[in-house]
């Protein structure tokens, strides 16, 4: 396998860090190791498009051919098959974790203990308990953990964010969030994808994670959740179809629908506010990008929408934007657009959805440490047999 890297030397400078030394020189460039070379290949390409900020020093995959191919594509960087060896070689500031979900907790822990910052693919980990442990470990080791939510950076979604924050949208009423994708036997030939142990969850955790994250990014925390999840499409352990009703903390509502059995694939985000309706494009894996449709309630609101977006400039999106954001977080101590607290909100929502579906209960957020959902998602059978259901009362926040 071989790939071509398109190096962009001068992307939109407004997206570059304030630190001009970092932009123009290499003094504060982050030295990167990548583990897992499938989606990690796309990470490698994005890092290579940002040569002023990142330098990939080594890549690692238990599959030697895959590691070698990515290393060669980067111009012959080090490659190895052992993660211990990657961390042990030293000279890294940042590890980009692109391995299957069941490895994330251990590999993030190891990287933090080795003094490295971390970018990690979704889903970050399998429970709020693990996430909170990692947050403590990161703080103790002065290392940052940046979760991958690359869809947050899409131009259409960012425009909506501005319209909401500038007060143009008004009160939120209802959001409908649809993830209609298709997964066949071929997709499940990678064994971890069919099991609870390997994937830590099904379509609610692994596939609709971006769409659900975009909902909470725009409309804020979730207050309560009621979900139904089933396995209808493929013979796998985890759910591949789900619906849920949510109440957000601002009192507005949201409906989620997810299937991995849609012959026509699409993702659709529709936000209904007092003053406007916002609709995403339908591209299944790119719905946060333009074009989005914004329709105001009156000519005056239409004018406000135009004026608010008048100076809008499109910039990098996807992994490029995500890694620029990570650079600002790690090197410049900024909060960032995709934060560990966002991964926590995402895992908390997934925990609530699973508990609700498995126990046929409404789950109220925040989920406290004494709530059974705090410790993981589990399979429905384990949950019911383990007595986790029926324990919601008194374990949720006010």
Ligand X SMILES: NC(=O)c1ccc[n+]([C@@H]2O[C@H](COP(=O)([O-])OP(=O)(O)OC[C@H]3O[C@@H](n4cnc5c(N)ncnc54)[C@H](O)[C@@H]3O)[C@@H](O)[C@H]2O)c1
Q: Where are the alpha helices (DSSP H) in the chain?
A: 20-24, 39-48, 64-73, 83-88, 104-113, 128-140, 155-165, 196-199, 209-219, 299-308, 318-332, 340-359, 380-385
In the sheet that 54-60 helps form, which strands lie side by side, from edge to edge?
Answer: 78-80, 54-60, 30-35, 94-97, 117-120, 145-147
Q: How far is the CB of 260 from ligand X (least distance, A)?
A: 14
187-216 footprint of ligand X as x/- string (CB under 6 A)? ---x---------------x----------
The piece of 96-104, 267-275, 329-337, 350-358 that touches ligand X (CB under 6 A) is: 96-104
Asked if 284 touches ligand X (CB under 6 A), the answer is no
Angle at the Cα of 152 (from 146 to 153), degrees rounded to 5?
100
149 or 294, CB closer to ligand X?
149
Asked if 232 touches ligand X (CB under 6 A), the answer is no
Considering only 16, 32, 33, 36, the residue that binds ligand X (CB under 6 A) is 36
Asked if 37 touches ligand X (CB under 6 A), the answer is yes
CB atoms < 10 A from the CB of 303, how many?
A: 11
Structure tokens at 56: 């990939």
Asked if 121 touches ligand X (CB under 6 A), the answer is yes
Q: Report whether the peptide linkage leading into residue 358 is cis, meaning its omega lies within 30 degrees of zero.
A: no
The DSSP bridge pattern shows strands 117-120 and 145-147 to be parallel
In the sheet that 293-296 helps form, which strands lie side by side, from edge to edge?
Answer: 293-296, 276-279, 261-273, 172-182, 253-259, 241-248, 222-230, 363-364
Asked if 59 touches ligand X (CB under 6 A), the answer is no
Q: How far is the CB of 71 from ligand X (least distance, A)?
A: 13
Distance CA 269, CA 296 (A): 17
Which of 17, 5, 16 minimizes the C-alpha distance to 49?
A: 5
Asked if 122 touches ligand X (CB under 6 A), the answer is yes
The piece of 99-107, 111-119, 126-134, 366-374 that touches ligand X (CB under 6 A) is: 99-107
3 or 312, CB closer to ligand X?
3
Contact between 370 and 129 under an 8 Å Cβ cutoff? The reply is no
The piece of 33-41, 304-312, 358-366, 375-383 that touches ligand X (CB under 6 A) is: 33-41
Q: How far is the CB of 278 from ligand X (least distance, A)?
A: 22
Asked if 152 touches ligand X (CB under 6 A), the answer is no
Q: Tell me the site size for ligand X, rule CB under 6 A.
A: 22
Contact between 260 and 186 under an 8 Å Cβ cutoff? The reply is no
Chain mean position to CA 129? 18
Distance CA 89, CA 208 (A): 36
The piece of 61-69, 126-134, 234-242, 289-297 that touches ligand X (CB under 6 A) is: 61-69
35 or 203, CB closer to ligand X?
35
Asked if 93 touches ligand X (CB under 6 A), the answer is no
62 or 253, CB closer to ligand X?
62
Q: How far is the CB of 171 from ligand X (least distance, A)?
A: 32
Asked if 73 touches ligand X (CB under 6 A), the answer is no
DSSP assignment of 78-92, as one string?
A: EEES-HHHHHHT---
Considering only 22, 34, 56, 60, the residue that binds ligand X (CB under 6 A) is 60
Asked if 62 touches ligand X (CB under 6 A), the answer is yes
Terminal C-alpha separation, the chain: 54
Rg (C-alpha) for the chain, rounded Å, is 21
Asked if 83 touches ligand X (CB under 6 A), the answer is yes
Beta-ladder partners of 273: 172
Q: How far is the CB of 198 from ligand X (least distance, A)?
A: 9
85 or 166, CB closer to ligand X?
85
Asked if 85 touches ligand X (CB under 6 A), the answer is no
Considering only 58, 69, 98, 287, the residue that binds ligand X (CB under 6 A) is 98
The piece of 56-64, 158-166, 181-189, 237-245 that touches ligand X (CB under 6 A) is: 56-64
Considering only 43, 49, 57, 66, the residue that binds ligand X (CB under 6 A) is 66
Report how far apart, in Å, the C-alpha atoms of 318 and of each of 177, 203, 286, 324, 335 are. Answer: 20, 21, 9, 10, 18
318: Cβ contacts below 8 Å, ≥ 6 apart: 46, 150, 151, 153, 154
Binding stretches for ligand X (CB under 6 A): 35-39, 60-63, 66, 83, 98-101, 103, 121-122, 148, 150, 190, 206
């Amino acid at each position: 396998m071989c790939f071509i890297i398109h190096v962009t030397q001068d992307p939109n400078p407004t997206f570059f860090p304030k630190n001009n030394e970092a932009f123009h020189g290499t003094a504060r460039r982050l030295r990167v190791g990548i583990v897992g070379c499938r989606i990690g290949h796309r990470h490698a390409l994005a890092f290579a498009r940002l040569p002023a900020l990142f330098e990939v020093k080594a890549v690692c995959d238990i599959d030697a051919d895959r590691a070698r191919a990515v290393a060669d594509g980067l111009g012959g960087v080090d490659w190895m098959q052992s993660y211990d060896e990657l961390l042990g070689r030293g000279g890294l500031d940042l590890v980009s974790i692109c391995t299957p979900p069941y490895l994330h907790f251990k590999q993030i822990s190891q990287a933090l203990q080795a003094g490295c910052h971390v970018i990690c693919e979704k889903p970050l980990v399998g429970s709020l308990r693990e996430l909170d442990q990692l947050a403590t470990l990161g703080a103790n080791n002065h290392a940052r953990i940046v979760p991958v939510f690359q869809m947050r950076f899409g131009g259409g979604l960012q425009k909506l964010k501005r319209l909401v924050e500038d007060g143009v949208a008004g009160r939120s009423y209802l959001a409908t969030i649809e993830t209609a994708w298709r997964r066949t036997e071929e997709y499940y030939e990678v064994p971890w994808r069919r099991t609870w142990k390997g994937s830590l969850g099904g379509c609610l955790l692994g596939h609709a994670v971006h769409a659900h994250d975009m909902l909470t990014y725009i409309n804020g925390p979730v207050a309560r959740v009621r979900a139904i999840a089933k396995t209808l499409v493929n013979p796998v352990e985890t759910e591949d179809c789900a619906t849920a009703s949510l109440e957000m903390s601002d009192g507005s509502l949201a409906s989620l629908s997810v299937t991995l059995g849609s012959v026509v694939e699409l993702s659709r985000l529709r936000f209904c506010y007092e003053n406007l309706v916002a609709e995403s494009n339908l591209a299944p894996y790119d719905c946060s990008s333009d074009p989005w449709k914004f329709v105001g309630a009156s000519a005056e609101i239409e004018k406000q929408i135009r004026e608010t977006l008048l100076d809008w400039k499109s910039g990098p999106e996807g992994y490029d934007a995500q890694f620029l954001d990570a650079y600002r977080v790690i090197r410049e101590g900024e909060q960032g657009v995709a934060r560990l607290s966002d991964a926590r909100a995402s895992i908390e929502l997934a925990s609530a959805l699973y508990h609700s579906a498995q126990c046929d209960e409404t789950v109220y957020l925040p989920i406290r440490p004494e709530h059974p959902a705090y410790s993981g998602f589990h399979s429905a059978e384990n949950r019911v047999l383990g007595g986790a259901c029926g324990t919601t009362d008194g374990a949720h926040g006010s």
